[in-house]
Amino acid sequence: MCLAIPGKIVTILGDNSLSRMGQVNFSGIKKEVSLAYLPEAKLNDYVIVHAGFALSIIDEEEARESLNVFHELEKFEENL
């Protein structure tokens, strides 16, 4: 199973749309991801990331709801 994870763009590198990269914060863990599929993405946008590529822009509330579900799943697994 593959999951797409929401994160917040904290830096953007490059101005060519195909090579544009962003540093994305996933609840305190920062990773560089490709922004090639989202040329309209800007600083502080929340994006869904899968396999190193930002796939869509989502609003902050939707991102927080998704992250809360992941945290609940983590707690559930700890209690198994």
CATH number at residue 51: 2.30.30.140
Question: Is the per-residue pLDDT at 35 higher than 80?
Answer: yes
pLDDT digits (tens, 9 = 90+) for 14-29: 878 789 999 999 989 9
Q: pTM of the full predicted structure?
A: 0.82
DSSP strand pairing (29-34 vs 46-50): unpaired
Report the run of H or E that residue 13 belongs to, with start and end: strand 5-13
Print the domain residue range for 20.
5-78
- What's residue 38's pLDDT? 96
Residue 3 CA to its chain's centroid (Å): 11
The pair of structure tokens assigned to 12 is 């953007």
Question: Is the per-residue pLDDT at 37 higher than 80?
Answer: yes
pLDDT mean over 31-51? 96
Count of domains for the chain = 1
